[in-house]
Chain A
């Protein structure tokens, strides 16, 4: 998952980014003013926007309105020091999906962020189940056939993304865009390395293969023994 944090308090932004990386396995980009934030939000496909309201150059509410006007569906979590009803109503009406007031608890912040990312993916449960593969997005543990599988953080990110998009074919570019922040050099073969690692750990011992490669198109995670139940995309 890739998150954009737009916050002019650099220290706060860095702390938020760190906790999102550590606890939500997210790639995080930072923007320190409104203009930069809007530019980044519109140029990359983010799974969540964390938006402060009092921003230099372009305030958060205005940014949100412009962002939504262009038809973006990315969930937006607003961070605000104001807790007056009117400003919260204005925020939600402008297209915010949730808000959290400063000073906030980082645990609550991570939980809200994850909930918004899940909802953005059309997911409501914190546990995803495909055949006998189970993913828990809270504990970030993966089981197959009841046995726990240990994954590296990047492998988990790839698997979680594929699980959210299950049954759909996900291209390498899409994976790169959603799993890395803009500071990374994006090389396609990095993905291939993670996929092969995942294949080994998940499908290696199992009779049913869940990870499938479509040459030239991408990857999909699905149980081919049953007709596509979710039928999305």
Chain B
């Protein structure tokens, strides 16, 4: 994995674009300057050629022929490589040229060209040829037709090249000089722009199991691009925090239960050993310890069972499942609770109806009913009855366990499926439960994509209902998922 820095990349991009811009500027400016200077040069060349033509005059005394005033030639722009000119009349009776003119220079005038270039002693020249230039001077009595002049004027072009190079250099230099402040400005601006991102990263880094605090800075919240990220972090964190809190609460509760059970055992042992006792005292102490260690074992088993069942609920059931008759699992559970029920003088009523099938491990279903029944029996007054009711609508089956107990207050109803039934001050060990049974039942139901809920009326009793998906009659493989769990297919194997 190649690591990179956003900031460095952005700064690199700014520098690169800056340099590209400078290069473009140099090219365009040079091209434009070349065009502009060339046309200025040409205008100048034409002017000079015309001014040479203007120096041709008729003699004042009426003699024939033409004269040339060489003293008024405009000075050359270049000191060493002087301008070259040639002016001649088309009557071939007059020709004047500069001192540095050699006839070979103008031998190769391109056909019909007005301007052309050549080299003289290694120096590039640009020349203009003007034909049919009238003589400016007028003199009466000059025979017609008036002669016309041909003027060739050449000047060194080195100057243009130098100026263009100088200009390009100036632009390039300025650009390079300006790159530095621009880059500094870009760095500052990029830093500033990336501040919310940096802050967000720092805040995210500070999150740990011990610190769930995530408060994105105002700047980070204002940045539109960061909104989905912040939202995602917050959602995930909230979920994780809930899970961790639940886990910690469970651990705390489990530790509390285990410590209490241990405390009882230990206190019995220590009080037995406090002083010599008689055989009867030892016997009853050992009996107590046996009872208490049985209870401890039962608590451990239930906790392990809950942990395992919750794992299923989270992972889905991955076993090959047979179709089982729900009613028969109810009967099995009722048989297993009968001893406890009769010891409290409680009757369990169940009228099995038609055969309702679902794909399940019969032991799991039995575990659900057993926990619901145990809860019902524990909270029922002796002499009352607990009823198991089964209703089937083809897609789903609803199994309800109805007791005539004291009922559960509205506020506690939503907590009855919590592990160890937190926050229930009336939870008393005299009823014998650990507050794990309903939590186990709920987890198993969830593992089978079912739902569980409780209704209660104070003084009348409580009804806990489990809704499970069933195998439709006639279809052996398709299993209908519950409407509440449409997103997840039921039969996960």
Contact = CB atoms under 8 A, between A and B. Distances in A.
Contact of A22 (B259, B266, B274): B274
B263 A103 contact: yes
B426 A15 contact: no
B336 to A, nearest CB: 27
A11 B292 CA distance: 9
A157 to B, nearest CB: 18
A8 B271 contact: no
Contact of A15 (B259, B271, B425): B271
A12 B264 contact: yes
Contacts of A12: 260, 263-264, 267
A11 B288 contact: yes
B262 interface: yes
Contacts of A34: 425
A56 B428 contact: yes
Interface residues of A, number: 30
B255 interface: yes
A128 B426 CA distance: 45
Contact of B259 (A8, A23, A103, A107): A103
A16 B260 CA distance: 13
B72 interface: no
Contacts of B252: 82, 84
A56 B268 contact: no
A8 B267 contact: no
Given A9-B429, A58-B425, A103-B266, A23 B256 contact: no
A17 to B, nearest CB: 9
Given A9-B429, A12-B263, A104-B263, A54 B256 contact: yes
B415 interface: no
Contacts of A19: 267, 270-271, 274
A104 B259 CA distance: 9
A102 B260 contact: yes
A57 interface: yes
Given A103-B262, A106-B274, A33 B428 contact: yes
B268 A15 contact: yes
Contacts of A103: 259, 262-263, 265-267
Contacts of A101: 259
A172 interface: no
Contacts of A55: 425
A105 B292 CA distance: 17
B275 interface: yes
Nearest to B268: A15
B429 A107 contact: no
A107 B275 CA distance: 12
A59 B259 CA distance: 18
B78 interface: no
Interface in B267-293: 267-268, 270-271, 274-275, 288, 292
30 contacts: A8-B429, A9-B264, A11-B264, A12-B263, A15-B267, A15-B268, A15-B271, A19-B270, A19-B271, A19-B274, A23-B274, A33-B428, A56-B425, A56-B426, A57-B425, A58-B425, A81-B256, A81-B257, A81-B263, A102-B259, A102-B263, A103-B259, A103-B262, A103-B263, A103-B266, A104-B263, A105-B266, A106-B266, A106-B271, A107-B270
Interface of A: 8-12, 15-16, 18-19, 22-23, 32-34, 54-59, 81-82, 84, 101-107
Interface of B: 252, 255-257, 259-260, 262-268, 270-271, 274-275, 288, 292, 425-430
Rank and list the top 3 A-B pairs by shortest CB-CB distance, nearest first: A15-B267, A102-B263, A103-B263
